[in-house]
Structure 1
Amino acid sequence: MASHLIDSLLYMDSYGTPVMREIFDDRSMIQNWLDTEAALAESQAEMGIIPQEIAREIARKAKVDNLNLENIRKGIVKTGHSLVPTLREFESRCEGGAGEFIHLGATTQDIIDTGYILASKRAFDVIYQDLWEIEEYLLALAEEHKNTVMAGRTHGQQALPITFGYKAAIWASEVHRHMQRMKEARKRIFAGQLSGAVGTLAGFGDRAIELQERVLGKLGLEIPEISWHASRDRLVEMVGLVAMVAGTFGKIGNEIYSLQKTEVAELAEPFTMGQVGSSTMPHKRNPGLSEGMHTLSKVVKANALLAYEALLQEHERDGAYWKTEHIAIPEAFILTGAILQKAKKALNGLVVNKQKMIDNLDILKGLLLSEPVMLMLGEKMGKQTAHEVVYEISMKTFEEGASFKEELLKDPRVGKHFTEREIAEMLDPFRYTGQSPFLAERVVRNIRAWRLAEKRQG
Structure 2
Amino acid sequence: MTELSRSSPLAAVSPLDGRYASKTADLVPYASEAALIEARLRVEVTYLLALADADGVDCEVTAEERAHLREVVDGFDADDAALVKQIETEGTEEFAATRHDVKAIEYFLRTETPERLHPWIHFGLTSEDVNNLAHRLNAKGAVEEVLLPEIEALRASLTEMAREHRDVAMLARTHGQPATPTTFGKEMAVFAARLGRAEARLRAAVDELSGKLAGASGTYAAHVAAYPDVDWRAFSAAFVDDLGLDHTPLATQINPCDDLAALFDALSGVNNVLLDLDRDVWRYVSDRYLGQESEAGETGSSTMPHKVNPIDFENSEGNLSKANADLTFLRDYVTSSRLQRDLSDSTVKRNVGAAFAHCLIGYRKTATGLGKVVPNEQVMREELETTPEIIGEAVQTILRREGDTEAYERVKELTRGQRVTLADFRELFDDLDVDEAVRAELRALTPAGYTGVADELVDELD
Give the secondary-structure state (helix, strand or coil) at the position aligned to 1:324.
helix
Could you tell me whether the CA contact under 8 Å between 2:43 and 2:134 is conserved in 1? yes
Give the match for residue 20 of structure 2: 11
Structure with the bigger percentage of helix: 1
Give the match for residue 251 of structure 2: 227
Query: Which residue of the other structure, out of 331, 356, 372, is the alignment partner of 1:333?
Result: 356
CA distance in 1, matches of 2:447, 2:248: 57
RMSD of aligned residue pairs (Cα, Å): 2.8
Which shifted more, 348-357 or 209-218?
209-218
Q: Within 5 A, what are the aligned runs for 1:124-143?
A: 124-125=143-144, 126-143=146-163
Give the match for residue 334 of structure 2: 310
1:122-171, Cα deviation, whole Å (9 max, x unpaired): 11212222222222222211111111101111122221111111111111
Give the secondary-structure state (helix, strand or coil) at the position aligned to 1:430.
coil
Inter-CA distance 174–49: structure 2 relative to 1 (3 Å threshold): farther
CA distance in 2, matches of 1:387, 1:440: 31
1:198-233, Cα deviation, whole Å (9 max, x unpaired): 112222233322432343244232223333725211
Give the match for residue 50 of structure 2: 43
CA distance in 2, matches of 1:282, 1:268: 17
1:366-412, Cα deviation, whole Å (9 max, x unpaired): 122221122123345645x3222222221352xxxx43434434559
TM-aligned CA deviation for residue 341 of structure 1: 1.5
TM-aligned CA deviation for residue 254 of structure 1: 1.2
Inter-CA distance 343–49: structure 2 relative to 1 (3 Å threshold): farther
Give the match for residue 250 of structure 1: 275
Inter-CA distance 344–49: structure 2 relative to 1 (3 Å threshold): farther
Q: How many residue pairs align between the two structures?
A: 429
CA distance in 2, matches of 1:73, 1:244: 38
CA distance in 2, matches of 1:305, 1:80: 31
Give the match for residue 289 of structure 1: 312
**Matched letter for residue 143 of structure 2:** F
Give the match for residue 451 of structure 1: none
Give the secondary-structure state (helix, strand or coil) at the position aligned to 1:159.
strand
Q: Within 5 A, what are the aligned runs for 1:111-126?
A: 111-125=130-144, 126=146
Could you tell me whether the CA contact under 8 Å between 2:299 and 2:305 is conserved in 1? yes
1:47-77, Cα deviation, whole Å (9 max, x unpaired): 243231576665554535434255156259x
Could you tell me whether the CA contact under 8 Å between 2:381 and 2:448 is conserved in 1? no
Could you tell me whether the CA contact under 8 Å between 1:146 and 1:163 is conserved in 2? yes
Give the match for residue 5 of structure 2: none
Give the match for residue 454 of structure 1: none
Percent identity over the alignment?
21
Give the match for residue 30 of structure 2: 23
**Matched letter for residue 104 of structure 1:** F
**Matched letter for residue 300 of structure 1:** A
Does residue 2 (structure 1) correspond to residue 12 (structure 2)? The answer is yes
CA distance in 2, matches of 1:435, 1:347: 25
Could you tell me whether the CA contact under 8 Å between 2:237 and 2:249 is conserved in 1? no
CA distance in 2, matches of 1:103, 1:69: 15
Does residue 439 (structure 1) correspond to residue 457 (structure 2)? The answer is yes
Give the secondary-structure state (helix, strand or coil) at the position aligned to 1:431.
coil
5+ residue gaps, structure 1, are 448-458
Give the secondary-structure state (helix, strand or coil) at the position aligned to 2:171.
strand
**Matched letter for residue 372 of structure 1:** A
Give the secondary-structure state (helix, strand or coil) at the position aligned to 1:160.
strand
TM-score computed with the length of structure 1 as normaliser: 0.84
TM-aligned CA deviation for residue 304 of structure 1: 2.6
